[in-house]
């Protein structure tokens, strides 16, 4: 467990504005496209989480639509392991 990973979890927790843990939405308030970006599906692949943190910095002003960001597997991410009990890739239909 590294300090950077703890900081990333705190980043998501501070911005959480949905009923799903470690997720947040940036909404323009104007109808438009809805995009979901998920990082950290595999806890040992941190680049997706790093990308979310960087991307959201540039989305302070959306013209329309919304973007939802999700940290897919926070426990595995924190422990720097691929998954806790099952590979989430096998859970998608």
Give me the mean pLDDT over the 29-34 stretch. 96
Q: Is 18 left (phi over 0), alpha (psi -120 to 50) or beta?
A: beta
How far is the C-alpha of 80 from the C-alpha of 74, rounded, in Å? 10
Q: How confident is the model at residue 1 (pLDDT cuts 50, 70, 90)?
A: low
Structure token pair of residue 50: 């790093």
Overall pTM > 0.85: yes
Q: What is the pLDDT of residue 18?
A: 96
> pLDDT tens for residues 9-27?
999 999 999 999 999 999 9
């Amino acid at each position: 467990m590294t300090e950077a990973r703890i900081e990333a979890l705190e980043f998501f927790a501070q911005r959480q504005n949905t009923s799903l843990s470690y997720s947040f939405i940036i909404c323009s308030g104007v109808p438009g496209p809805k995009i979901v970006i998920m990082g950290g599906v595999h806890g040992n692949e941190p680049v997706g989480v790093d990308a979310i943190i960087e991307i959201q910095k540039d989305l302070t002003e959306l013209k329309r639509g919304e973007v939802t960001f999700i940290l897919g597997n926070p426990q595995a991410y924190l422990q720097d392991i691929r998954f806790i009990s099952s590979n989430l890739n096998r859970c998608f239909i």
